[in-house]
Copies of this chain bind each other. A is one copy, B any other.
Amino acid sequence: MQVAGIIAEYNPFHNGHLYQIKQVKRALPNVPLVIAMSGNFLQRGEPACLDKWTRANQALQNGADVVVELPVAACVQPADRFARSGVRSLAALGVTDLFFGAEHAEYDFMTYAKLVKEAHGDFKKYDESYAASFQRAITTKIGHEVSQPNDLLGLAYAKANLAFDSPLTFHPIQRKQAGYHEVTLGKGTIASASAIRKNYTQGEDKLAQYIPAQTFNDLRQKELLSWDDFFPYLKYKLLSSSVAELQTIYGMAEGIEYRLKDQMERLTDQADFETWLKAVKTKRFTYTRLSRLACAILLEMKTAEVLAYEKVPYLRLLGFTPTGQNILNKAKKSNPHPLVTKVSQDDKNNFFALDYRAGKIYQLKNKTEQDLKRAPIRIS
């Protein structure tokens, strides 16, 4: 049985995402679609603008049949690890075909993956980031640059697929308009998620042409969250924690904890997240890596928790359609990963602790319980 899959963040769901789903339906008509989505904290190290339930519902209203949440330990990760968890999770749910947007859909990602299998960055050059170093390595192996964000993510999916003996068939979809980092709204019907978030406060009406109805309604009713909402907690956390405590946080390396704490202490009382990020930036750490570290600090994400997840991955079911129900019934028999449909008191104190904690911290600003007593969304 063929099942399509997408790994996504939907921050928030917009016409570009809808276009992608339509391409899936065109390529594989009558094939169900499973989305593996980030929860309330995202791959680039930031809080989601809307909570996972709201974003899952947006996807379900626009063609998705199942939406599962990738745990925090899978999401707040460099692209390679994020891709690995996404691919592994979709394969576990019986997905056969992976769709993803790419700046260059003509690239043969699986072949590239084989070429760069042994490529890695150089940790020893102290004046550049690992990402920049890795970039050079893959250019040499492939023969040309692969440098655009979605192309790179596609390559990461391909490497993950290769590592798991290629359970997924690859379908790159040519991205239309709007670059990933684009912050202005254009003339067409597609704008980047960054542009949509940035223009949100300027009145939602002008966003109508870029987003489906469900997202439009959600934006009318809910406040978009960002790092600025959680920055007071990050600040408090860095001021109140000792360097030794910070060293227990996942991803802390090279003594950066001293700098993160010291720069926070020196910050003016009015400074925001961006100001702090600029103050801590070094050549060795990209903004994204620092944002992810900030996320890990905010969430008290520990290395042991990430290792436990890697060892026994799991997924949270956020919602499904009747078609999705069939996939889930089949997956239940074969899925090697626990699929959490209800979080118990026992779960929250054990394997689900990091996710529960992240939900509680998100709730500080979102004011909506994220896990306990939340049943999957059912679309009839």
| Residues of A in contact with B (beta carbons under 8 Å apart) | 232-233, 235-237, 239-242, 265, 269, 298-300, 353, 357, 360-361, 363-364, 367-368
Shortest distance from the beta carbon of A271 to any chain B beta carbon, whole Å: 11
Bound-state CA distance A82–B353 (Å) is: 38
Q: Which residues of chain B are near A299, meaning CB under 8 Å?
A: 240
Q: Which residues of chain B are near A242, meaning CB under 8 Å?
A: 300, 353
Shortest distance from the beta carbon of A208 to any chain B beta carbon, whole Å: 30
Q: Which residues of chain B are near A360, meaning CB under 8 Å?
A: 239-240, 265
Structural contact, B364 and A235, CB atoms closer than 8 A: yes
Q: Which residues of chain B are near A353, meaning CB under 8 Å?
A: 242
Structural contact, A361 and B239, CB atoms closer than 8 A: yes
Q: Which residues of chain B are near A363, meaning CB under 8 Å?
A: 269
A240 touches which of B235, B239, B357, B368 (Cβ 8 Å): B357
Bound-state CA distance A353–B240 (Å) is: 10
Bound-state CA distance A232–B360 (Å) is: 12
Copies in the complex: 2
Q: Which residues of chain B are near A367, meaning CB under 8 Å?
A: 269
Interface centre among A298, A353, A357 (most CB of B within 10 A): A357
Bound-state CA distance A82–B241 (Å) is: 25
Shortest distance from the beta carbon of A227 to any chain B beta carbon, whole Å: 15
Bound-state CA distance A299–B367 (Å) is: 25
Bound-state CA distance A298–B265 (Å) is: 17
Shortest distance from the beta carbon of A288 to any chain B beta carbon, whole Å: 22
Interface centre among A239, A240, A299 (most CB of B within 10 A): A240
Q: Which residues of chain B are near A240, meaning CB under 8 Å?
A: 233, 237, 298-300, 357, 360-361
Structural contact, A236 and B236, CB atoms closer than 8 A: yes
Bound-state CA distance A300–B241 (Å) is: 7
Q: Which residues of chain B are near A364, meaning CB under 8 Å?
A: 232, 235-236, 239
Interface centre among A239, A363, A364 (most CB of B within 10 A): A239
Bound-state CA distance A368–B237 (Å) is: 18
Q: Which residues of chain B are near A265, meaning CB under 8 Å?
A: 360
Closest to A301 in B: B240
Q: List 28 A-B contacts (CB under 8 A).
A: A232-B232, A232-B233, A232-B364, A233-B233, A233-B236, A235-B364, A236-B236, A236-B237, A236-B361, A236-B364, A237-B240, A239-B357, A239-B360, A239-B361, A239-B364, A240-B298, A240-B299, A240-B300, A240-B357, A240-B360, A240-B361, A241-B300, A242-B300, A242-B353, A265-B360, A269-B363, A269-B367, A269-B368
Q: Which residues of chain B are near A361, meaning CB under 8 Å?
A: 236, 239-240
Q: Which residues of chain B are near A269, meaning CB under 8 Å?
A: 363, 367-368
Bound-state CA distance A343–B357 (Å) is: 37
Bound-state CA distance A300–B235 (Å) is: 14
Shortest distance from the beta carbon of A242 to any chain B beta carbon, whole Å: 8
